[in-house]
Amino acid sequence: MNIDQIMRAAPVIPVLVLEEEMDWAALAETFVAAGLPVLEVTMRTPLALEAIRKMSKVDGAIVGAGTVLNERQLGETVDAGSKFIVSPGLTEPLGKAVLQSGAAFLPGIANAGDIMRGLDLGLDRFKFFPAEASGGIPALKALAGPFGNIRFCPTGGVRPETAREWLALDAVLCVGGTWFVKAGDDLATVGERARAAAALAA
């Protein structure tokens, strides 16, 4: 799948910062059953690579790695089964390495210069990050103006109650959300949140 297909697969991509051991396959199955098959596991915790290995084997799950900062992490996450790579920013060395790896790529951008660097690499799908801190919906509307064919996944500060406003923008294909898995949650609770988010596509 290319990054456009991945971004169109569901309205919300759960951005998972995994702090506690869980049954990773069951977690992925919960999201897939709820209608959110695209899962971003961030490389912010030591559990991330093992979670990607287990989750990527689940039927219907499209598992990627987030907070990928360099080529070493890129190699680790692709080896673990990541189908797509998300980075908080865009550098030319990482961009070229991801494109060579064959993984789909969703780099973070916050301004026009970032977008233009991405265009130079042949990219036209970006994560707008950190979305709220970078000016929110007014900022993204202003950025989208000069770049008519570019599409975005706003992430960072997007909340369940604001997600629909973001998704209403023509330039937005999906949003990234961090609200799905909290300390002590059971899978039923996660599934409930995921179903509510999947319903935003209606």
Catalytic residues: 40, 127
Return the DSSP state at 201.
G
Residue linked to tokens 């093992």: 50
Residue linked to tokens 């190699």: 75
Strand partners, 177: 14
Give residue 115's identity as a one-letter amino acid code. I
CA 164 to chain centre: 17
CA angle 144, 150, 151 (to 5 degrees): 90
Question: Which alpha helices (H) appear in 47-133, and where do they start and end?
Answer: 48-55, 71-80, 92-101, 112-120
Angle at which helices 71-80 and 92-101 cross, to 10°: 20
